[in-house]
Structure formats: structure tokens, C-alpha cells
Copies of this chain bind each other. A is one copy, B any other.
Amino acid sequence: MREHGDATTGPSPVDQAAVRRGNLARVLAEIRRPGGHSRAALAATTGLTKATVSSLVAELIRRGLVRESGLRQEGVVGRPGRLLELDGASLAALGLEIGANYLAVRGVDLADRVLLDRRVGFDAVRAGAAGAVDELAELTADALAELRRARIEVVGIGVAVPGLADIATGTVHYAPNLLWQDVPVADRLRERLGTAGDVAVLVDNEANLSALAEFRRDPVTDLVYLTAGIGVGAGLIADGALLRGATGFSGEVGHLPVDPAGGACGCGRHGCLETKIGLAAVVRAGAPDLLDAPRDPEELAAALRHRAEAGQPRVLEALDDVGRWLGIGTSILVNLLNPGAVVLGGYFAAVAPYVVPAAMRELRSRAVAGEAAICRITGSAFGFGAAVRGGASVIADRVFDDPTAARLRAGPGVESA
């Protein structure tokens, strides 16, 4: 049975290239599974011919994605087959983040080994949009140079921003906490990096990228990532994929109206979720002495946790109250989306033990479907580092989805892709 195209009646060249790319991805996905894989075994599991598998594997090797490891005896007779495993050590994905008070960069290779991980304090508001992107470009250029010196090819850059990003154009439409409007981040970053930046640049909301990082660590098909620093945001994974919405503006939880009789919100409304669980709200209520010049939310989170661990009643009370409102907000998400897990990022991650109990109480009392819909609420293991991880992993995933995104190096025996 020959189900796929042959030269005479088969697909057009375009179709063939697409089929080829799809088969490269299928074979690479198999090789990424634990344990060594022989070409013969890959042919059996993918339903491709041995000849095709050999050609695909040769190409994956020349793109730096696969390497031959050991030998495996195929049955009693015949010569042993070479085992294949994921390589990716010479390919890197960069994750960047612009926060209101910091810039971060993380580089990982395609086997997910950390190559570099930096976070620097930075007043993005004072610097202005152009100044902030330029500063980020400096940080990126250093990272690129360092990786190039180590003979590692950067396959792309994923930039996390605390705002509404158009992933098609890499423009940030609106980032209230940066005071940004319509900032062409990808274009300016590429321009500043010049030829050094001759790689794919993706820009996305930090909660979206963080949700992808959490999903990669713990693949719960329906996952809600809820985060707060200066702002409050959510990244939603539905049935294994990021829920972006029609125009990319999903996950706007910060202004859920949870207390119409509540205090004024920066958005002009009253009693938005952000006024109850935002970092500013908890600091004001639990540690007002920390309300001063802009500082890294990570420091504030650490200070809150430190005081909570020391048993300071005021902080504990404030965090319990945050937990209660967090539970109210979470129950809305649970009743609408029925996630399998809710992961708390940003400052919540640092103080999870002090907010989760109250949040779970609220969730149990508000989940319409009862026990069957109640899921765990846990603090993120990545904390403020989730977004750069997500930025790097979307870049890596692009290569796993289309291995031709990794440059083809010189070598024998590869069909044109």
C-alpha cells in the first residue's frame, strides 16, 4: 500500500516540501522520546520507509538536532543498527523579558541545558520604550556574542512583555505598567542587533510565555497560570495549547470585577481583582514601609515571604486576605475553564504557602460542579523566571515543529528540504 505521493502523480513541489518538513518533525519527535532509537525502529513507529527515515535522519544530523549514540542488535541476524538520540547542544534558544523594574535573559540549548541566565534591575518606565528596548538589545548582543564564541548557533529569540502583544508583528499594543503604546519591539530589537540579530524574534505576553513554561514542566492539558507583580495577568492553556483568543488579548484577569463596592483601580473602575491581589495592594496592607521607590517585584516578594516566615501578623493577615480574593478570582476561571491545575506565578510563587489555603477554601465553596471541577492550586517552581523560560521554549518548540528552522550544515547525503 503506497499512501503517499510519488514523482508522477504525487504532490506539487510545495506539498512535497511540506510533507518532508512534517516527516522531519515526526522522526525528531520520536527521537526525543527517552531511550535510543534505531532507524529500523523509527521506520516501524512512523510508518515511513527505511530509505525515507535514513534520509530524514541524515538531514536532522546535519541540522545539529540528532546524533548517533551507540549500537543496538536488531534481532538475531543482520548487522547492528546505530542508535540515535537528540543532540541540540550546538543550537540555542534565547528567552528575554522586559519588566517594569528589570530585564532578564536566559539561553538554553535544544536539549534544554541552561547556557546563560541573567536578570538586571532596570527602570523601564524612566528609560522609555525606545530606551528600554535598546537596553534589552545590549543585553541580547552580549549573550549572542558569548554563545557565538562557544560556537553555538542561536535559532531565535522569544521576548516576554507585561502587556498586550501582537505576535504576528512583534508590536506591543499596550503595556500599562511600562506606559507603552504601540511599541514595535521586534523591529527595533532586530534593527539594534543588526546582522547579529539575524534570527527569528517572537514577542508575546509574559503570562502567555510563563503558562507555556509551566505546561512544558507539567503538561496538564488544561492549565491556568495566574501571576501578579505590579499587574495581574493570566496565561491559559486549553486542551494542550495556548488560548490566545481572536486577537491575542485573552487572559485579562486583572480587571475582573470582584467587588463593585471596592476601591478605585488604575483602570478607572472599582473593585477590580488587581486592587485586591496586586503586589501594590498587599504591600500597602501588609508592609506599608516597603512602599517607596520602584524596586524589583522579586525583592518585594522575598521581603513579604521573609516577614511571613517570621510570623508577622500584619503580613500574614494581608496574605490571607489576598488568598481569599485570589480564590474568588480563581473560582471564576475554574467555573469557566475547568482547568486541571492552577499555577501561581510572580510574587504569589514566593508566598504560596500563605495564600493557597484561603484560596482553596474559596474555590471549594464556589466551584459550581463541586469536587469534580476542583483542581490543585500551587505556586510556580519558576517564580519570576517563568517568562524567560517560556520565551526560550517557544523558540525551541518552533524548531521541533519545523526542524528546517535550524540551519543545514555542510555534509553528505541530504535531499533538498
Q: Residues of A at under 8 Å CB distance from B?
A: 1-7, 9-12, 15-16, 19-20, 23, 40, 43-44, 46-52, 164, 173-174, 220-222, 234, 236, 238-239, 241, 243-261, 267, 269, 328, 332-333, 335-340, 366, 368-370, 372-373, 375, 415
Contact = CB atoms under 8 A, between A and B. Distances in A.
Given A11-B47, A258-B257, A251 B336 contact: yes
Contacts of A173: 369, 372
Given A239-B241, A252-B335, A261-B261, 18 more contacts: A1-B5, A1-B6, A3-B4, A3-B23, A5-B48, A19-B47, A173-B369, A244-B338, A245-B338, A245-B340, A246-B338, A250-B338, A253-B335, A255-B366, A256-B336, A257-B332, A259-B260, A332-B332
B243 A243 contact: yes
A6 B1 CA distance: 5
Contacts of A375: 246
A27 to B, nearest CB: 11
A50 B3 CA distance: 10
A-B pairs, top 8 by smallest CB distance, nearest first, are: A245-B338, A11-B47, A4-B4, A246-B340, A249-B369, A252-B335, A3-B4, A5-B47
B10 A249 contact: no
Given A3-B19, A49-B5, A250-B336, A11 B44 contact: yes
A10 B47 contact: yes
A13 B118 CA distance: 52
B335 A243 contact: no
Nearest to A16: B1
A2 B243 contact: no
Nearest to A255: B368
A206 to B, nearest CB: 16
A254 B9 contact: no
A23 B5 CA distance: 12
27 contacts: A1-B16, A2-B52, A3-B49, A4-B4, A4-B48, A5-B47, A9-B40, A9-B43, A11-B46, A11-B47, A19-B47, A220-B246, A243-B337, A244-B338, A245-B373, A246-B375, A247-B369, A247-B373, A248-B338, A249-B372, A250-B337, A252-B335, A252-B368, A252-B369, A256-B332, A257-B328, A267-B368
Contacts of A267: 368
A127 to B, nearest CB: 25
Nearest to A365: B269
Nearest to A245: B338
B247 A338 contact: yes
A313 to B, nearest CB: 27
A4 B339 contact: no
Contacts of A40: 9
Nearest to A258: B257
A251 B51 CA distance: 49
Nearest to A269: B366
A43 to B, nearest CB: 5
Contacts of A335: 252-253, 255-256
B48 A3 contact: yes
A82 to B, nearest CB: 17
Max chain B CB contacts within 10 Å: which of A1, A239, A340? Answer: A1
